[in-house]
Amino acid sequence: MFQRVLLPTDGSEASSIAAEAAVSLADRFDAELHVIQLVLVPR
């Protein structure tokens, strides 16, 4: 069903929970897991 899963992360606790779900989903469907780390830069 899924070929690729995208996980955006910012290092927060919510991102950690989302990461567990993304890894499980990718594993279940033998999909590629792509991770993007977001960093807020103060102006």
Q: How far apart are CA 26 and CA 32, in angstroms?
A: 6
pLDDT tens track, the chain, 43 positions: 899 999 999 989 999 999 999 999 999 999 999 999 988 899 9
pLDDT of residue 38: 87
pLDDT of residue 18: 97
pLDDT of residue 14: 96
Q: How far apart are CA 18 and CA 43, in angstroms?
A: 28
pLDDT of residue 22: 98
Residue type, 35: V
Q: Which of 3, 1, 11 is nearest to 36 (CA)?
A: 11
Q: How far apart are CA 19 and CA 36, in angstroms?
A: 11
- Three-state DSSP class for 11? coil
pLDDT of residue 20: 98
